[in-house]
Amino acid sequence: MLGRTANGLFWMFRYIERAENTARLIDAGLRMSLTRMHGHEEEWESVLRSSGVFSSYSAANSEVTSADAVNYLLRDKSNPSSILSAIEAARNNGRMVRTALTREAWEATNECYLDIKAQLARRVSDAEMPEIINNIKQRTGLIRGAFHGTMLRNELFNFSRLGTFIERADNTSRILDVKYYVLLPAVSYVGSSLDNVQWESILRSVSAHRSYGWVYDDDYKPANIADFLILNGRMPRSLAYCYDKIDSNLSYLEREYGERSSCHDMVADVVGMLRGHEIQEIMDRGLHEFLQDFIGQNSRIAAEISDVYRFYQD
User: Can you give the pLDDT at residue 198?
Assistant: 66
What is the domain extent for residue 14?
Answer: 3-308
Gap between the Cα atoms of 249 and 154, Å rounded? 10
User: Can you give the pLDDT at residue 9?
Assistant: 97
Q: Is residue 106 part of a domain?
A: yes
User: Can you give the pLDDT at residue 188?
Assistant: 45
Q: For the segment 153-184, what is each residue's pLDDT rounded down to a tens digit?
A: 999 999 999 999 999 999 999 888 877 655 55
Provide the domain count of the chain. Answer: 1
Rounded alpha-carbon distances, angstroms, from residue 189 to 106, 183, 193, 269: 47, 11, 8, 36
Please give the share of the chain, as a percent, with pLDDT higher than 70. Answer: 89
Q: Is residue 228 part of a domain?
A: yes
Query: In the predicted model, what is the mean pLDDT of residues 80-102?
Result: 96
Q: For the segment 286-296, what is each residue's pLDDT rounded down to a tens digit?
A: 888 999 999 99
Q: What is the dihedral of CA 236, 240, 245, 247, to 10 degrees?
A: 180
- Global pTM? 0.90
User: Can you give the pLDDT at residue 310?
Assistant: 87
Reported confidence tier of residue 1, pLDDT bands at 50, 70, 90: low
For 14-47, letters b (16+ CB in 10 Å) and e give: bbbbbbbbbbbbbbbbbbbbeeeeeebebbbbbb
Residue with the bigger pLDDT between 193 and 253: it is: 253
For 278, residues 6+ apart whose C-beta sits below 8 A from its C-beta are 231
Q: Is residue 45 part of a domain?
A: yes
Q: Is residue 48 part of a domain?
A: yes
Q: Residue 195 pLDDT > 60, yes or no?
A: no
**Position 177, amino acid:** D
Gap between the Cα atoms of 109 and 96, Å rounded? 13
Of 95, 116, 107, the residue nearest 20 (C-alpha): 116
Cα 172 from chain centre: 6
Q: Is residue 249 part of a domain?
A: yes
Gap between the Cα atoms of 208 and 187, Å rounded? 25
Q: Is residue 314 part of a domain?
A: no
User: Can you give the pLDDT at residue 172?
Assistant: 93
